Structure 1
Amino acid sequence: MLTLSTQALYWVTVVLSNVGKFGISAAFAIIYVWSAELFPTQVRSSGIGSSSMMARVGGMVCPYIADLVSKAG
């Protein structure tokens, strides 16, 4: 039977968390640039500003929703 030491599991956790952080950063950069292409030129700045504002609101509300879900379950 294959047994993994705590040290080996630590490095797997570190590698996977860094891959996840890279993926999140890359997705944010790609979505930010791509969403600018979705809006017509006349309303591009308003569209990007509104999208960014709603993303920030979602980031602020997210912990409260996660707390509600954990208490309901």
Structure 2
Amino acid sequence: MVTTRGHSDFWRTTSYGFVRDGGHALLHHFPQGSATEVTFLADFDRLYDQVGLMVRVDAETWIKAGVEMR
């Protein structure tokens, strides 16, 4: 289980110049050439609550995918 503080996220230079590298993550080593399958159990109760998967190399090299409460 991961519980975050407010206004934390990972974003990289959006169209309006927004950069944020202060989110929370449950980290695990991911060897090159491997694959992963994930299942999420999310209890969304606030606008913009989200859950997803992030593959991170460093602060400028990463990809994330997920779902968000709207």
TM-score bracket relative to the smaller structure = under 0.3
Counting strand residues as a fraction of each chain, which structure ranks higher? Answer: 2
TM-score (norm 2): 0.17
Work out which structure has the larger RCO, using CA pairs closer than 8 Å and 6 or more positions apart in sequence. Answer: 2
Which protein shows a greater Rg? 1
TM-score of the two chains, using structure 1 as the length reference:
0.16
